[in-house]
Copies of this chain bind each other. A is one copy, B any other.
């Protein structure tokens, strides 16, 4: 298959690497930024770099538009003209707007796409062939999309190790609004609210705990990208915002009336949702995931010593985080592993390494902080 990739950033570059693992694919790339294109070529993301969009697409069976969101619709129109026989897809994070913008005659050849890879890195320099392995890759055909072209794309997505999920564009946008865009809104709400509040001359921002820091990790994310995303997917995001306002109202009522039963059910539902999402991400049953907490002294090499001990024992670390709360206090490590045996063994190793450690099943709920 002759594939053209327009936009050679992290996603376009990674897709090129993955497609080139199959010898029958030939990948030509194009990027307005010549330096980015050179990195992609050097790293083996493409067989060749074209000097124009038309040159890249002219002989392609399939064109993948991997540009920033704001450029997608314009580039698709240009590609439809430059590649009169090719199947065209994109990998933008919103779909309704893109699918609607494709003009009449081209609609049969276009199928929207969106791989859920969740990387924060940027650029072909970070490209990895494995990026799509096991990832959900949404495909959003319109009613006019040609069935054979959808099948062709389905095959391409599978060939790079992703899981194709065919879905209506509007449903796609509702899902990503909830799972990604709306969390970004909440992170911004929390960060700005705490920053804006002064309590008798004390700034709450100066005494935040780990929960605030975790919940604002994506606060203030790149405005050049996020203003576009928020506006492109505004309807679905608005619906999530309105649901949140309603739920906050219900919670406020429960607080006012001291409704312990409501709070208990609400917290239990949240705990179940968290463990279900974690289990899905790690492809295991919720009951199988265990969370370890360990206190580590603030000495050089403490972290590498822990990582080495677990690695030597063949214990796979699903997630790992260190909060180095203060230079004097040392830190607290959270590790998620699959399997109770692994959790028990990991705690033994950490204790032997001089760290206080315990573990509990994720399904029992988070510890929180007081």
Contact = CB atoms under 8 A, between A and B. Distances in A.
Interface stretch (A20-28, A51-59, A105-113, A275-283): A275-283
A135 B329 contact: yes
B214 A326 contact: no
A125 interface: yes
Nearest to A262: B227
A217 B211 contact: yes
B179 A358 contact: no
A92 to B, nearest CB: 8
B281 A332 contact: no
A270 to B, nearest CB: 4
Contacts of A156: none
Interface string A205-220: 1111111111111111
Contact of A311 (B196, B267, B301): B301
A316 B125 CA distance: 25
Which of A179, A293, A358 has the most C-beta atoms of chain B within 10 angstroms of its own C-beta?
A179
Interface stretch (A73-81, A146-154, A362-370): A362-370
Given A234-B256, A358-B121, A186 B215 contact: yes
A348 interface: no
Given A186-B186, A218-B211, A326-B134, A118 B369 contact: yes
Interface in A169-218: 171, 174-175, 178-180, 182-197, 199-200, 202, 204-218
Given A304-B307, A330-B130, A200 B171 contact: yes
A104 interface: no
Given A326-B134, A358-B126, A175 B195 contact: no
Contact of A218 (B174, B195, B301, B366): B366
A167 B220 contact: no
A229 interface: yes
A3 to B, nearest CB: 21
A143 interface: no
Contact of A211 (B184, B240, B280, B329): B184
Contacts of A125: 356, 358
B365 A222 contact: yes
A360 to B, nearest CB: 9
A190 B195 contact: no
Given A191-B270, A263-B230, A278 B369 contact: no
Contacts of A237: 255
23 contacts: A118-B209, A118-B211, A120-B334, A121-B332, A123-B358, A126-B358, A127-B356, A134-B329, A168-B200, A171-B202, A175-B204, A180-B369, A186-B186, A193-B244, A213-B277, A218-B366, A220-B271, A220-B365, A227-B260, A283-B327, A303-B320, A304-B307, A304-B310
